[in-house]
Amino acid sequence: MANVDQTATDTADMNQETAPKGGDGSWNWHPDVPIEYPPLYAWPMDFNKLRAWFILSWQPLSANFIVAMASVAVWFTAAPALERCVTFEAGWILQIWARNMVLMVAVAGGLHLYFHVYKKQGMKLKYDKRGMARKNRMFTWNDQVRDNMLWTLASGVTLWTAYEVLLMWGFANNLVPFLQWQAHPVWFCVMFLLMPLLHSFHFYWVHRFLHWPPLYKLAHSLHHRNVNVGPWSGYSMHPIEHLLYLSSVLIHWVIASHPIHVIFHLQYLALTAASSHTGYESLLVKEKKRAYLSPFFHQLHHRFFECNYGTAEMPWDKWFGTFHDGTAGTMKRIRDRNS
Ligand SMILES: [Zn+2]
Ligand SMILES: [Zn+2]
């Protein structure tokens, strides 16, 4: 198994409430700052760093790899045959909805139980000092986790299913261009690698749009009630945000794909939203980082709002002047700009 301890963090320090090296001084833990983008965009390229980043992103316990394998397994065992999808019928639609529901509960619920109920990792690599909010009137039923579950399952799984149903119906009726594995095996695999980058591009622009004040007030503020986040917070969004967030999957109407790509694309959007909001940077096994979970990059967005609209995969924020690298200097610059 690959050791993904790429930041060479001293594990002896992980349990301490370390004095922050940047930011606003109230983190329980955070990685060294300034945080950096993947070496994909540095010139000249450092191939050792690039290799380490690729392994980190696609090693067997990475969210990317697990979701890709899950999408293959789903296609072969839990997807309706395309012949059934020619017309919209309750049977195959409910099958997709039930499977997506099980996946979401397993991933977000599993991470929540592991980190926040049984506290298997304690405070090690946890960003925020606080636990999930209770008796807080901002949330439905005054409970952050129950509120987040409601939006994730009722709105999120339903709209994820709706997009998947639409694409499956499109494949079944030859409206969506079909890519055969045998015809282009290399491109078939490369598409998996490109989808996180496509998501990064799409998410940056959709997210900036969601911060347009009227839309923020109407929809995105619901996600931002979670300043401190947990696995159920990631996909907890207003239906308008779900619609926009998932809309990158419509690219498969234009680019030839296999249903596995569509299943992967949607699972990636829904399920890695849970893992990337775990609130812990990485999963530790015997004091070694074995799986990267939640980027500090997005944690900064939840804390400071007007920064880091994209993802940590592509430097859109750097190119457009909204990058928060976690240092106190950047925080002051962003605060001054917004005041
Ligand atoms: Zn978020
Ligand atoms: Zn936002």
Residue pair 292/282 in contact by the 8 Å Cβ criterion: yes
223 C-alpha to center of ligand 1: Å?
7
Asked if residue 26 has pLDDT above 80, the reply is: yes
pLDDT digits (tens, 9 = 90+) for 149-171: 999 999 999 999 999 999 999 99
Give the number of whichever ligand sits closest to the CA of residue 219: 2
84 C-alpha to center of ligand 1: Å?
36
- Averaged pLDDT, 262-283: 98
* Mean per-residue pLDDT of the chain: 91
Give the number of whichever ligand sits closest to the CA of residue 210: 2
| Matching residue, tokens 């990485």 | 282
What's this model's pTM, rounded to 2 decimal places? Answer: 0.91
- Averaged pLDDT, 126-143: 96
Give me the pLDDT at residue 25, please: 55
302 C-alpha to center of ligand 1: Å?
6
Residue 310's closest CA among 218, 207, 229, 209?
Answer: 207
Angle between helices 90-104 and 63-77 (to 10 degrees): 150
Residue pair 63/161 in contact by the 8 Å Cβ criterion: no
* Helix then strand then coil, % of the chain, to nearest 5: 55, 5, 40
Give the number of whichever ligand sits closest to the CA of residue 206: 2
Give the number of whichever ligand sits closest to the CA of residue 297: 1
Residue pair 167/262 in contact by the 8 Å Cβ criterion: yes
Q: Using CA atoms, how far apart are residues 59 and 284, in angstroms rounded to an integer?
A: 15
337: confidence class by pLDDT, cuts 50, 70, 90: confident
Asked if residue 321 has pLDDT above 50, the reply is: yes
Give me the pLDDT at residue 24, please: 53
201 C-alpha to center of ligand 2: Å?
15
Give the number of whichever ligand sits closest to the CA of residue 226: 1
- Local structure of 20: helix, strand or coil: coil
Q: Which amino acid is at 190?
A: V
Q: What is the CA radius of gyration of the chain?
A: 20
117 C-alpha to center of ligand 2: Å?
27
Higher pLDDT, 134 or 18: 134
Supply φ then ψ for residue 239, to 5 degrees: -55, -35
27: confidence class by pLDDT, cuts 50, 70, 90: very high
